[in-house]
Structure 1
Amino acid sequence: MSAHGQLLPRSSPRGSGMSARAVGLLLDRLEERAVECHSIMVVHRGHVVAEGWWAPYSAERPHLLYSLTKSFTSIAVGLAISDGLLSLDDRVVDVLPDRVPDGISERARRLTVHHLLSMAVGNREDSLTEAWQLEPDDLVKGFLRTPFPDPEGTRHVYDNSTTYVLARMVEKVTGRDLPGLLDDRLFTPMGIDHAEWDRVASGAAFGFHGLHLTTEAVAAFGELLLRGGRWGDRQLVPRDWVELATSRHIETLPLPNWSQNPDFLRGYGYQFWISRHGYHGHGSYGQYCVVVPEHDLVIAATGAVDPTDALPGLFWECLFPGLDDPGTAKDDELLAERLQQLSLPPVTGSAGPGHPVEAKADGSAADSPLTDGTAVLVEPLDGGWLVRLGDAVEIAVGHGEWRESSPLGRPIVATGAWQDDRFVADIYVITTPHRVRLVVEAGTAVAAWNVVPLTGPSLAVHVTAPLMTRPDVS
């Protein structure tokens, strides 16, 4: 959060004309549907009326946004266009001529900023894996080498590569890297001073994923969009770009391996999804920035759920009926108490033996966070444990509490306990949706992710700062 304080003003639900019971109903439905949330913030009529974090997640922590990052890249494109440095009709091959491989197709040569923004480049599946395989050191070249069987502009196919290429085009025409541009033009004027970015091996920001922001910063971004790009007395983003980016440009089809969520089947803008109500930016495992202009409503949420049909539909179902029903002061009080007590379940059990326990990791399972044979040591320490994984990673684990450590630069929060003859610990990579459950029993340690990071399963990679990687291309 900004050193100057909160980004958005606060109000009680009742003070903004909204029912606290509606927010309580949303919390009930999330629990009933087993939707794991890490944070929720509801902004109505310009004021935060409800905010909560499920411990160990907390207000000051940035959270990995995954593909919600794409919506911020869209704003960077709009800034470059408003500065006269780029246009919707500019072709990739003209803006990035030094990254065009020999022998690409005529369809690849015709691809423009508009086609990339609307993800209508003529492919039939996400090109990311193939593009990395074709050109491991340059995704732009790899993307241009992939096949484009359909005419550009005719079909939407969700494609991470398109946003990566857009980021590089913005950087080329502005002479700024994407994080620096957004810091100067968006984040710093808004009072957001903590934006963090994951990067590919070359050092470039992904653009299609990798931005970390606090929940309030995401909500403030939604409020900026709702206000037509205006923040206070400054027009940070041209209103016409906000309107264009959040308008429907192409029909959307069901995403592979997803439920047929009606809020992803209403069309696609420029790196924004058109919803049944308003529009939203979305990132894997439940990262949302939802904007509903008709109700003067913004909802920001983070979490760790697999692709689901629960959201954003539960927002409509639960919150809309309460938007014109202010309820009572007692309702507000009960909601505030409930929001303060949100928590993910801690590991329960005893303090166990008072001596160190050694094990070897069984890393044979697919997507294991640990390499097979990794030495694991569980050592009692001051009402908790120090867990050593190999030679480099030492993690503080609390008993009945969460403890924080940063063995390789990125913060980890962990809690654990002995359950009979098994030691169980939950290890949160706390600025992401991801955690590892470690079970040590009879000399063997088994680790598993709650949801596997899209940039690969190695725990060591994801607790190292800065994170510089690329998606696996197995």
Structure 2
Amino acid sequence: MGTPSTSLQLPRSNPEAQGISSEAIINFLTTIHSNKLELHSFMILRHGHVVAEGWWSPYKSTLPHMLFSLSKSFTSTAIGIAVSENLLSLDDAVVSFFPEEAPDVISDHLATLSVRHLLMMGTGHVVDTMGAIRKSEDGNWVKAFLSEPVEKEPGTHFLYNNGATYMLSAIIQKITGITLLEYLKPRIFSPLGIADPTWESCPRGINIGGTGLSITTEDIARFGQFYLQKGTWDKQRILSEEWIHEATSKQITTGDSGDSDWTQGYGYQFWKCRHGAYRADGAFGQFCIVMPEQDAVIAITSGTNNTQGVMNAIWDTLLPAMNSEPIAIEDPSAAARLTEQINLLAINPPQLQVASSYEEMISGKVYKLEDNDQKLDTFSLTFTEKGADIILQDHLLDALVIHCGRGVWVESYARMLYDTQTDNAIMASFTWISENTLQLTLLFIEAPFCITIEVKVEDNTIVLKQQINISDQSDPETIIGRAI
């Protein structure tokens, strides 16, 4: 099994030297494109070496990406380390850590709910508790979780429960006096060379655990390689091999198997995959896929609802091409074609009609918006030769300014995503669909999201229609604004 160097980057190699052809990787990228799967980055490791990597511009290697539930596997890792430090046991009752937040009457099922049950998503709840947790008026998410009914016997029923992972984070903070992020920095992040990780927190300062972690694609790959190496890094044991085996083995049934990678079983915050693989998995296509039989790791960030399609592309194109020995370069042009294909990876801004006579009419006007789900109060656009500035004012009178390029991406920073605690990096552009209809595109380059806003101009009114790329919303919200 290949072992990464201790340099800032993982070691690089050509694919053929590690037993996989450049042509197979070309086929993978072609399949992704033909199936209209929006990837933001990919990195393929074989025998500890990066054999191919790419970012769809304007995404880039230095930017962190929101991991969503891929975060869960890091939380699980923290529990594994805490067990090795004799800070807790998997059979400890969850309520034992939080006597002040426990309900006055503790049901039998709640009393038997253990750390192990949290890890395996076998808490006995029948509904994900995170919805109720987030609604707690006092911000005490632990108390809200413990107040939810545990209707089934813990350990007997799988339910993907974000609240369960939050509780694992809360337990780490309770027993150590520091946050999950602070606990992992010297134990995992620093040893693996993962710099500047960030993690969203609840109102009481506990890292959310089940989501909220942001790191780079190469950081994801490092984490996968660490698990592939069964808990060692730079010849040092960080996590026990027994824990790695237990965490990535099937602990609970998730379905009836078959051809779905969602029905192969669940470990301790890791999903089992077909073909002997397992994965850390986040919504909209954030992947850390570990393939022990092939000594390979695949890290992916993306913005797609078709996550099974991404995994199918891996199984169909990359898996069959992984050979046990280095392979001869049969087509010398393949490496050059792969490099060219990677260099051309991009999410391009729409480019329809460059300008419109309506620009002069609406530039600088402020439009009062009707009540809307986004809680936006006013909207205005100011055009320049090279672009436009959007000014959105919300009901709290906070102004968001976003710079848009004319058919090109321009960078801005504004807090537009409801569940983030810092400004979002946004690449924005605009184009005219017709003489009186403008299209604004906002690409969140540290997240899976892309927002498209259609602005139709009608005399002294505008009609805004907003759509998000990975929403199941069939009809975009329509907001009418009137010039003031």
Q: TM-score range by the shorter chain?
A: 0.7 to 0.9
1:352 aligns with 2:371: no
Which one-letter code corresponds to 2:321 in the other structure? G
Report the identity percentage. 34
TM-score normalised by length of structure 2: 0.86
Which one-letter code corresponds to 1:313 in the other structure? N
Maintained 8 Å contact 1:104/1:145:
no
Give the C-alpha shift of residue 312 in structure 1: 1.7
User: Which one is further off, 289-298 or 426-435?
Assistant: 426-435
1:416 aligns with 2:430: yes
Maintained 8 Å contact 1:427/1:435:
yes
Partner of 2:271: 273
Which one-letter code corresponds to 1:388 in the other structure? I
Maintained 8 Å contact 1:22/1:319:
yes
Segments of structure 1 that go 5 or more residues without pairing to the other structure are: 459-474
1:396 aligns with 2:403: yes
Maintained 8 Å contact 2:173/2:206:
no
Q: What is the Cα-based RMSD across aligned positions, in Å?
A: 2.5
For residues 203-250 of structure 1, give each alpha carbon's deviation from its aligned partner in whole angstroms, at most 9, with x where no partner exists.
321100000111110011000110111111222222221121111111
Q: Secondary structure at the match of 1:298?
A: strand
Which one-letter code corresponds to 2:406 in the other structure? H
Q: Secondary structure at the match of 1:411?
A: strand
Which one-letter code corresponds to 1:275 in the other structure? C
1:241-390 mapped onto 2 (5 Å cutoff): 241-253=243-255, 262-277=260-275, 278-306=277-305, 308-324=307-323, 327=329, 328-349=331-352, 350-353=354-357, 355=360, 356=363, 358=365, 360=367, 370-371=374-375, 374-381=377-384, 383-390=386-393
User: Which one is further off, 22-31 or 264-273?
Assistant: 22-31
Distance 2:385 2:194 in 1: 37
For residues 316-365 of structure 1, give each alpha carbon's deviation from its aligned partner in whole angstroms, at most 9, with x where no partner exists.
11102221255433211111110111112312030435631646476777
1:25 to 19, 24, 27: 27
Maintained 8 Å contact 1:434/1:453:
no
Partner of 1:449: 468
Aligned residues: 445
Bigger Cα Rg: 2
1:415-434 mapped onto 2 (5 Å cutoff): 415-420=429-434, 421-434=436-449
Distance 1:323 1:364 in 2: 56
Give the C-alpha shift of residue 444 in structure 1: 2.6
Change (3 A) 1:339 1:363: farther
Maintained 8 Å contact 2:101/2:146:
no
Maintained 8 Å contact 1:434/1:452:
no
2:115 to 105, 113, 116: 113
Distance 1:216 1:401 in 2: 27
Q: Secondary structure at the match of 2:211?
A: coil
1:67 aligns with 2:64: no
Distance 1:363 1:322 in 2: 56
Change (3 A) 1:340 1:123: same
Partner of 2:3: none
1:28-47 mapped onto 2 (5 Å cutoff): 28-47=30-49
Which one-letter code corresponds to 1:276 in the other structure? R
Distance 2:98 2:256 in 1: 32
Segments of structure 2 that go 5 or more residues without pairing to the other structure are: 1-5, 416-422, 478-484
Change (3 A) 1:435 1:362: farther
1:132-281 mapped onto 2 (5 Å cutoff): 132-133=134-135, 137-253=139-255, 262-277=260-275, 278-281=277-280
